[in-house]
Amino acid sequence: MTPSASHPILISPSILSADFARLGEEVRAIDAAGCDWVHVDVMDGHFVPNITIGPMVVKALRPHTAKPLDVHLMIAPVDRYLDAFADAGADILTVHPEAGPHIHRSVQHIKGLGKMAGVVLNPGTPAKMLDYLIDDIDLILIMSVNPGFGGQSFIDSQLRKIEACRKMIDKSGRDIRLQVDGGIDDRTAPMAIAAGADVLVAGTATFRGGPDAYADNIRRLRGG
């Protein structure tokens, strides 16, 4: 099942693959190139084996784009940092069920901050985890690699999970975005879309070739 016309395919480039020495310029470049969201991977070296950025960097990037900042929190415990990232300018806050003791409470907290609330499913986390969350969330993020590093290869078994989550969303009748992150490129993007995804996170495939290539890279990912 493919996304409906009311949910066109969105591209959310992951700045994990950008030039960190010039992040502001990179964000402006992908904005001008036609991205829909800007994906910010926050890693703590504890929940995942890498360390990236914190709220201060999100705050510094906020003036560089009017596009939604799509902040994926790979940190534990996550709840104590939700306010800081919301205050920094995040529009979407996405959390892992394993990153805190009460995922429903985390979702409620995000909604209370006036932000879109997303739940992330790692490759080994079943879609069934969403059974009692589907009525409260705005976004489901399927990790098609194990989180922590960019440039990994797409795990094909996650296509079945994308299909399962698309069925859950359609059954709910709610306006929930289905996002996929990990190994997304010209080959895997159509597979993810065919399985039901309507938001694609792409780092390496977006930032390959430098700023002059970003618009073409995004267009290809979108299927254009």
* Residue 182 is assigned to a ligand binding site: yes
* Residue 100 is assigned to a ligand binding site: no
* Residue 151 is assigned to a ligand binding site: yes
Q: Is 212 a catalytic residue?
A: no
* Residue 96 is assigned to a ligand binding site: no
* Residue 6 is assigned to a ligand binding site: no
* Residue 183 is assigned to a ligand binding site: yes
From 70, 79, 138, 181, the catalytic residue: 181
DSSP structure string for the chain: -PPPTTS--EEEEBGGGS-GGGHHHHHHHHHHTT-S-EEEEEEBSSSSS-B---HHHHHHHGGG-SSPEEEEEE-SS-GGGHHHHHHHT-SEEEE-GGGSS-HHHHHHHHHHTT-EEEEEE-TTS-GGGGTTTTTT-SEEEEESS-TT-SSPPP-TTHHHHHHHHHHHHHHHT---EEEEESS-STTHHHHHHHHT--EEEESHHHHTT-HHHHHHHHHHHHT-
* Residue 72 is assigned to a ligand binding site: yes
* Residue 186 is assigned to a ligand binding site: no
Q: Is 41 a catalytic residue?
A: yes
From 41, 44, 70, 138, the catalytic residue: 41
> Active-site positions?
41, 181
Binding residues for a divalent metal cation: 39, 41, 72, 181
Binding residues: 14, 39, 41, 72, 148-151, 181-183, 203-204
Binding residues for substrate: 14, 72, 148-151, 181-183, 203-204
